[in-house]
Amino acid sequence: MGRVPGWFASLLLAGSIAAAYANGLDVPFVFDDWHTIEQNPAIRSPSRLLAYFVDPDTTTILRENKDLRPLLLATMAFNYQLSGLAPWSYHVVNLTLHWLVVLLVFRIVRDHLWLGEERSPVALAAALIVALHPLNSEPVNYVSARSALLTAVFYLGAFDAACRDRRVLCVVLAACAMLTKSIAVSLPVAVLVHHLFDRRRPLPWGLIAALAVVAAGGLLYRWLILPPWVVASARQPDVTPRIYFQTQWSALLYYLRLFVWPDALVVDRLDFPWARSLGDVQAWGSLLALAVLALVAGLGAGFGYAPREAVQGNVQRIMYVHVPAVLTAYLAFALVLVGSVGYLATGRAGWDRLAAGAAELGVLFTAITIVSGSIWGKPTWGTWWTWDARLTSVSILFVMYLGYLLLRGMIEDREQGARYAAVLGIVAAFNIPLVHFSVYWWRTLHQPPSLLKPGASAMPPIILAALLVNFGALAILGAYFVARRVRVLAGEAEAMA
């Protein structure tokens, strides 16, 4: 399938949305609409437009729901002038905003995700999913949820403008997004991450700084005008930011399930349980499941979608295991260093248990690195093993941390063994820079680093994305196993006390 013309995509997506929501123009006001629209006197007069920017009382008649969303209120006031409290015009605006969101999804996927020749059909499929998926029926049919649609239009429009280097338009749209809903504060990070993947152009630090100023200014604007009690009333008294953050993992997993099998209502679930501790299965189990799903996606992209390497062929795809494994090992050994220093400085057993658990993980992933590297080396170099600088230094690193684990088990005095192991853990950490820079300091068959190297990366963005997703997933899985191991070691210590 060739390139899909923009006009054809626009008409197809508009027709699809119209067909799916043809019976929605008569949907009455529901949920919060009664206090934000039906009984809100602020939207009934265009003369209140400037007040929307400075008066939180204009958003709702309820004290606990007051906010600052001036551009959203301006659209509601437009609807009231057009049809009063007849809901049809409100739904027409929501459908129009939904169509704009879908068109922006089509443009972004087609033009900015490095998909090659198949980018047009993939972009059209992605846009159709956003247009018709039942998960999006809430912001389309529920008028007060227009805040999400309007923010998405400004947010995606700003992102698209940033990718096209239209900086003034990007900053203006970012400001509009912040004046609609504060979730747009993440836009500078999204633009930065996208440009980090696409290193064909220099990073637009000026644009990113401007977006950061807009985001910070939007938060400061809210902080200066909103009364202090507004933030406090926006959440339950016993729900801390940490609890809210931990609960998001299971909520994301829930919506992923609804994306695949949308058999439940998509409105806010007031009965959704809170994950109040990292020890709750809801917290660590959902995070673990998300990491596994990310690893499956990353391996699928690496082994099934990423382009075939021109010289090495398909054997190069072992990189999608090899590189994330060695980076996870580096991370684990960094934890060993931190735990060892912490134990020698404070004498607290918790630091020692952290070092011990991380060392076990590091040894495991170093073994995976050596095995996967040998599989890669046989067809590339013609041998399973060669004593060059990189392979020799990795072997020394592996033996040193294996010795670290053996040392811990050989000394009966646990405190003395922990001190000796801490010293070895600190000494062994100095071998990590030697491993990493060995390909620069000596002649070696091993290729230079794929990720941790100076200068811009020349690898295609899809390869870089697959590597980083796999590394992130392995790092989360590794953190889980270290945490579980630390808990087991603590239990063993209590049993022997």
**267 within domain boundaries:** no
Beta-carbon contacts of residue 493 (< 8 Å; ≥ 6 apart): 349, 353, 414
- One domain, residues 300 and 217: no
Look at residues 238, 270, 301 and tell me which one is the last residue of a structural domain. Answer: 238
- One domain, residues 57 and 183: yes
- One domain, residues 402 and 474: yes
**276 within domain boundaries:** no
Structure tokens at 404: 């670290």
**263 within domain boundaries:** no
**Residue 481 to residue 475: CA distance in whole angstroms:** 10
Look at residues 238, 260, 290 and tell me which one is the last residue of a structural domain. Answer: 238
DSSP character string of 74-143 = HHHHHHHHHHTT-THHHHHHHHHHHHHHHHHHHHHHHHHS--GGGHHHHHHHHHHHHHH-GGGHHHHHSG
- One domain, residues 348 and 229: no
Structure tokens at 158: 């700003």
Residue 435, phi then psi, degrees to nearest 5:
-65, -45
The percentage of the chain sitting over the pLDDT mark of 70, rounded to a whole number, equals 92
**Residue 296 to residue 88: CA distance in whole angstroms:** 44
Per-residue model confidence as pLDDT tens digits over 373-430: 888 777 777 777 777 777 788 888 888 888 988 888 887 777 888 888 889 889 888 8
What pLDDT is recorded for position 310? 65
- One domain, residues 194 and 316: no
- One domain, residues 234 and 286: no
Per-residue model confidence as pLDDT tens digits over 267-301: 667 778 888 887 788 888 898 899 999 989 888 88
- One domain, residues 297 and 407: yes
- Measured from the Cβ of residue 338, the count of other Cβ atoms closer than 10 Å reads 16
Structural domain harbouring 300 = 281-496
**460 within domain boundaries:** yes
> How would you class 173 by CB atoms within 10 Å of its CB: exposed for 0-12, middle for 13-18, buried for 19 or more?
buried
DSSP character string of 175-222 = HHHHTT-GGGGGHHHHHHHHHHH-TTS---HHHHHHHHHHHHHHHHHH
Report whether pLDDT(445) > 60. no
**348 within domain boundaries:** yes
What pLDDT is recorded for position 65? 81
Look at residues 175, 209, 238 and tell me which one is the last residue of a structural domain. Answer: 238
- One domain, residues 368 and 231: no
Instruction: Supply the CATH number for residue 325's domain.
Output: 1.20.120
- What total of structural domains would you count in the chain? 2
**255 within domain boundaries:** no
The percentage of the chain sitting over the pLDDT mark of 90, rounded to a whole number, equals 39
- One domain, residues 463 and 314: yes
Cα–Cα distance list, 365 to 291, 348, 494 (Å)? 17, 27, 29
Per-residue b or e along 447-465, where b marks 16 or more CB atoms closer than 10 Å to that residue's CB: eebbeeeeeebebbbbbbb
What pLDDT is recorded for position 5? 82
- One domain, residues 216 and 345: no
Question: How large is the average pLDDT for residues 331-340?
Answer: 92
Structure tokens at 167: 């900086």
What pLDDT is recorded for position 380? 73
Which residue do the tokens 């009690």 mark? Answer: 229
- One domain, residues 198 and 302: no
Question: How large is the average pLDDT for residues 346-357?
Answer: 89
**380 within domain boundaries:** yes
